[in-house]
Amino acid sequence: MKVKFFDFNKENNSYIDNVLASVADTLKSGHFILGPKVNQFESDFCDYLGADYCLGVGNGLDAIKIILMAIGVNQQSEVIVPAHTFIATWLPVTDLGAKIVPVEPDPHTYNMDIDAVERLITKKTKAIIAVHLYGRPVDVISLKSLGDQYGIPVIEDVAQAHGADVSQGIKCGSVGIAAAFSFYPTKNLGACGDAGAVVTNDASLYKKMKLIRNYGSSEKYKHECYGINSRMDEVQAAILIEKLNTLDELIHERKRIASYYDEHISSNELICPELVSNHVWHQYVLRVKNREDFIKHMQDCGIETLIHYPIPPHLSGVYLNEFSSVDFPITESICNQVVSLPIYPGLSEQELAWVTSSCNTFHS
């Protein structure tokens, strides 16, 4: 049996008619940039998150950069970031000339170790970026409390945790000073192309970010500050409006699949992720010592897997020299062992049974 790592057709089938109708309306309207669909999505997403303000932007990386620009990060700043994350969390910091200060993850949650953050705070620390990695929320309430003690804002990177609750009734993206979202197609809430958003409850920050995303301008040819061009287009907004209506159902399905894996994977060769109620399972990430053998075994069984992430940012070419004298052993151990199983709405019971039985027949 063949099992794809991700199958867009299976997920899209549940809402394709509504999406196509909404896109057709957009094409007929003649509004393609910052029009009524973007406005509606921003409003709908605020309502969903329980946040005050939302801005549709070009992608998740831009979302982080816009927040950093708005709070004044510059070449004299330091920004604390997770050592274990996708490089898009680091690049906006570097782009603004600030110093990256990585913090090791908790080996059980894979999220940044909050206890280790305080030791890294200096007078130059301008922000802490918390990534809700794989869909498991960071304890961002505790992290914000720490940041408040030092007057340091916490930024949430929610690219992988749409719809997750930090605690009951409080969603990821509504706790920090601002939050960055990516709607890359494979996300829990995915567009059909690049798109992102920034969310905040701070009215002043919202006004700054609104200028920054549109060339620093609120009125054409009048530029009040340095800005960039990063705007969600109307077609992507139209798609996201429809998909947002089904997000909770999609999350429920991901949780069901994660529970199935947790119940049926019994191999001592594999370390399964902890099953926690507020995890929304953007990825289901195992750890296995002989990863290449495991991947080959799963390929032979017809099952696609991926690695999130094989190379930590500090060992990527762009950062290799800067961090050549620093070790992040927990991050490197995780990156050498993690492997992700298929987890997306539409996986059949037969496919899930085949994935788990294939896992259980692996022997290194």
For the whole prediction, is pTM greater than 0.75? Answer: yes
User: Which one is predicted more confidently, 169 or 43?
Assistant: 43
| Per-residue DSSP letter, 194 | -
pLDDT digits (tens, 9 = 90+) for 187-197: 999 999 999 99
Residues 163-189: b if buried by 16+ CB within 10 A, e if exposed: bbbbeeebbbbbbbbbbbbbbbeebbb
Task: Read off the tokens for 45.
Answer: 């997403």
Instruction: With a cut of 90, say whether residue 240 has pLDDT above it.
Output: yes
Instruction: With a cut of 90, say whether residue 135 has pLDDT above it.
Output: yes
In DSSP notation, 297-351 reads HHHHTTB--B-S-SS-GGGSHHHHTTTTT---HHHHHHHHHEEEE---TT--HHH
CATH architecture of 248-360: Alpha-Beta Complex (3.90)
Instruction: With a cut of 90, say whether residue 22 has pLDDT above it.
Output: no
Cβ-defined contacts of 318-323 (< 8 Å, 24+):
318/87, 318/94, 319/90, 319/100, 322/100, 323/102
Mean pLDDT of 145-171: 97
CATH architecture of 8-244: 3-Layer(aba) Sandwich (3.40)
User: What residues does each domain of the chain span?
Assistant: 8-244, 248-360
Which residues have C-beta within 8 Å of that of residue 24, sequence separation ≥ 6?
none
pLDDT digits (tens, 9 = 90+) for 258-276: 999 999 999 999 999 999 9
| Per-residue DSSP letter, 128 | E
